[in-house]
Structures are given as structure tokens and as C-alpha cells.
Chains A and B, each alone.
Chain A
């Protein structure tokens, strides 16, 4: 990373710091201040969108650890979210557990299911592993439907409003703050994980797993650890999603979402925490734009009004992935770095 001139690192700690200049600290504090005061001056619609973005950020950060850093591609992330969501829903609705106890259990349960479906990852990789995770998605959803006595099956399951320290979270603003606190902690953990021994092992496995094994990285335990951490993130996100709607339903975790989370990672840039956040914001905004554009399109072409909105969002989602894979395979974060470098080197930049 290039720094502005005149700043010198005198210790290893300074060199490794994520925020290395006063300016960066100031920007971070301004960003956090704006983020956490958003409920004061935003409409409910924006709050809903931002909360959904926060939940997706948590989920995609997990996927980034699993796929972006450890190279184990997962196309069943929505399935792992469903595990977390349903465990949390069953604990609070059926057993009457408080929300703060159900949330970690949801993460843990999703992590354990992730380990279970990650077990084949030692023997297989690439296409085969992708198929194993796709199978995980569909088997999880099928099992949820079969155990209808606990999960409500196709009827879904009503979940009580979350309660923290005697305070019932009812407003959208309060839930937004809860999601954002967890999202910030998740980002902090993800950003730091990569700089530890574990993170370096993940990156070694991604770049060449055989070479990593020769260097002494225990493939089985690190791959399973990646599955565990990635799926804990998914489980927490699933739990937050279920409690936000106060309802658990299998249609909240479709296979299309698993694909879309991976698309967010590709659009943002793989193997980068910032990239994951960029991707989520971009694609969620795009989804929102599609919802707004649907009625306008239907009004413009009355002949195909009924199917226009549904097909438009499908075609858009596909096209975005196609365009990014062909023209910007390294994601938005790469473009962002190029732009930053351009302004930093100006007037000597090309």
C-alpha cells in the first residue's frame, strides 16, 4: 500500500496497522458517526434497504473468507443462512429462548452444518465441491420442509420480536443499529483474521493447496475451519434476517440468493473485505432499481406487462454477472484502487 510522503513507519506494529494515517482515522470516525445516526434522519424505506444491506454484508463477508480467501467455492450460502435462521427461530419461538442466546447458537449450528458439508472438500475441489455445496442448499431446505412439526414446513414460523436487556426492538431504526453493530464487528474480525496465521494458511490453500500442504499447512483442519467461520457468518446473517421479518420461511433462502451472494463477491472483488462491501451495496442498489423500474416498464409495454417485471430482474441479474466476468473480472475494488492511484500520482499518472 502506498502512503502519502512524509510518513515513516518505525515499528512492525505501525507497519501492520490497517489505519496508518490520522486522515484515515478521521474518515473512519466520520463514516461511523454518519452510519449510526442514520435512523435519525432516514425514512423507513431507506432503513429497510440499509438493514438488508447490513445482513447481506455479514453473509458475504463469510462467503469471502470461505471462497475469496480459502478458495473453497460455496454455492449453498443461502442454505447455511437457512440453518441459522431456522435454529434461531425454533429456539425463540418453540423454546422461548431470549434473542441474545439464540443468535450465537444459530451461528454455531450453521457452522457445524458447514463443517458437515465441507467434509468432502479434502478429497474434491473445483466443480465437484461446488456441486456438494449446491446439494447442501437443496438438502437443507428439503429437511426443513420435512420436519414441519418444528419448523412449520411450508407455512413458515412466526418469531417473537427480539429483546435485548429488557428493551424490545420494535422500530426499524433500532433493528438497523443492531445489524450495523454486528456488521461492524464482523468486518473488524474478517479484516483481522486475514493477517493472522490462520488467514495466511487460508491464502496459501487458495493459491496452491498441494504446495500449502507440503509447507506444513494441515489441509483438513484449515479447510474445515474456513467452512466453519464462513458458515457462522451465514448463520448469524440468517438469524438476523428471520428476526427482522419476525417470520421464518423457506422462500427467504432461495438458491438464487446463493448465486447472488457469489455474484456480489465477484462484482466487488474476491479476496477483499472492502470488495465484499462494495459488491453488496452495488447489487442491492441494482435490485432496488429493478423493483422501481418494473412498474415503469410494465406501463411502457402493456402487451407484456404481466411478465415484464419478473423477466427484467432475471435478465438484469444474469447480465450483470456476464458483464463483470468479461470486462471487470477483478471487481470494483480493483477499479477503486486504480482510481485512487490515479489521483495520488497526479499529475504524473497516465
Chain B
């Protein structure tokens, strides 16, 4: 089993579909909502004439004309009858029914009211993603000048693991609208996902819009840190915090700057910035504050269940509270929200395994593998959960693929441990013991060594209780000497009480 990354969390942009992004503040105008000073003409559509026309000519055409006018004038009440007519008419078109539906069920104008969307379920499954790719390709064949559709195509390709296709589609999207915030953030996120964080950073640094947009500056700061570069727009970002922009536009920037302050030891200033981020937090900034909590000591109780879509923050909070089962539930939400991302799948599968929910862990890891086939961590976690479920041949297959991708010493040591588990479950005890011993010997960090030892003890206990007891004793002894490794207590629960 491999632990979730212990690297500092960065406020990497979320990448939602354009629809979901529109429902959140990310694609809203910085200028703030326009008020009733809009074109007077739009509100002055002659609806009475259309109502009279529809009354004297009950037809789809007259109903459609009235519904169209009412939508423009934002006066749905005058077109209810016509809307019902269109919905009941056997000859009305799909588009007419769509507009009739918009008349009868207008969306709330306050985005906060509809902030809670269950999940962006489309795209969580490769089959669904493939269907959406077909629809998008068909649309783009007719309307190639649609940057949002290209970006969504890129997102769906990313979900299916076709990163090269995704990069091609995103290149077209950004070329068509090089100053769009959503597209720039999505493109940078994709480059980061593809392992080219330098390119993600370059894109944002070169975009003319970045110095004037808090969302882009926040992303620039995050990718600069991830690429081990110097952030370029720290000063511009600080100035922007006092620019009077709506707090929802500044929340990610404040948390990004807070993270920088935290890392430079300016805890007090960091706390101020995180407080500013909490004026109107979104799911990403809330997760960032949750990550920083041990150092800044704020309370997020008031936010975790009021800020919608904050699955990551809730998952982190549950993990901190040693509620692994709840962490898995929240990880699923996080994963649905970002179906291409490896983090929720790694996090969820780890905590599922810790909670002995191996089936859930295998499902999460398998979903993550679809979008991240080259990632060692996910294949390893998948193999671990499969082996624990005694699906040995599948586990062995995954482990063979994982081993090829183990790059760091910790990953190689982890692969020995999981291979040891697979050997135990396939009945090859000698190989199992040997591999676990090798894992413990080569693991570069004490935490990893302890985790390997605990799992070695658990597997030994199943076939050789006496050896297992000895190993369990060692594990408990080492755990007692590492009190800071809180989650090891949960892993020790995997050992039989008498072991």
C-alpha cells in the first residue's frame, strides 16, 4: 500500500466541464453582475401582442414566437400557456420543447442557489466519456469554431486516458480563445496532468490576461511552486487582494498567497490570508485551508457542510479525524468532481484499504487507473486491494504493470511489499517473506517501513500465527516509537488482537 502524497498541497485549478464551471464563479465576469441597467429594449418585448396572436392562432409557430419573446424579456409568466402548448404538441421540435421547459422551470438567477450539484457524473465512466466524445466530435464537425467544445473534448479524452488527444484538442481551444480564463486554467491543468508542469506555468506566465486576473495569478503561483520556479505575479496578486473585486474571485488567490506565506514561516500573515480566502470560499480554497489547518489553527466547522462541492476538504477532515470510511465516501465525491485526477483515487483507495473496504478501494483505484494508466501509485493500490480480496491473478497482473512504473526508491520498495502480499496470497510464502523483508530493508522512510512491517505481520499471521505474532510485536513496538504517525494506529487494527 502506498501513502497519499505528503507534498505540500497547491491550489491547482479544478477542471470542470464548461457547464459546471459556469455554475461556479470561475467563468463569471470580474466586472460583477450587471444589473437592471441592461438594454431596456430586451424588457420591452411586445408580449401582449404575441399573447393576443397566440390566443387567436393556437399553433406551434405562434406559441414558439411567444415563448421566444418571453425568454428574451425574462417574463416567463406570460408564456406559461404557450409553453404547455409546445410541450403537449406532438409536432413541436426538440428545441421548442427545450425553450418551453426553460419558461416553466427557469434556472435560479443566484448561482449560490444552485451551487450544490451532486456530481458531474458524466465522465466518471470511460464508456460515458466515450459517448460524450462522439457527441462532441459530431458537434465540432459542424461548429469547429467552438473553443469550449474543444476544451470539453480534451477533458473527456483525459478521463479516458488519451492524454495526447486531449493535448491536441486543448491546443485548438486555446488558439481560438487565448485570453479566456477558463481555457487557460484548463489547459494549464492538462499540461500538469500530462506531467509537463513547466509548460503549464509557461502558458500562464505568457498569457496577457494573467497579471489582471486573480484566478490566473492563483494558478500561476501554484504551478510555479510545483515546477520549482519563482512565482512571477506575487506582487500583482497582493495588490489585487485590495482591488475591491468580489471575494469569490479572490478566494483562490488569497489561499495561494497564504500557502506561500506559510512556507516562508509567516504563519500570522498566512492566517490573515486564509481568513480572507474564507470570506467566500470555494471547494478548492476550502481544501487548501483544511490542508493548512494544523499550522494556522482556524476552525472550518462552519464551512465544511455549507460550501458546496467541498468533497476534498471534507475528505481531508475525515482523514484527520481517523474516520477512514467517511473519507472514502468523500473521496468518491472528489473523484466524481475531478474524474481525471489521480489524487482522489490515490487518497480514496488508501483510506479504503485502511478501513478494510478493499472492494471500494479496488473500484476507486481502477477508476483512477483509467485516466492515469502510467501512475505507479494507483496500480499498486489496485493490486493491493485485489490481493486482499484474493483476486490474485488480477493483482499479479496489475503488479507487473506497476513494477515497470516504479521510479523512486520508495516506489520500488513499495512494489516489493505489494508483490510480497501477492506472493502470500498465491501461497508462495517463501517469496512473500523474502519480498517483504526486501521492502522493509530498502524503504527509505520509517513510516513506509512500519506500514510494510504491519502488512507483513498481518499476512504472516494468516498462515503462520507464531511468526505473525513476532512480527506484530515488532510492529507495535515501532509504532509506539513513532507517535507522530497517527494513521499507523489505524493500520495496526489490521492485526489480529492476539497477534
Q: Do A and B bind each other?
A: no
Residues of B within 8 A of A (CB): none
Residues of A within 8 A of B (CB): none
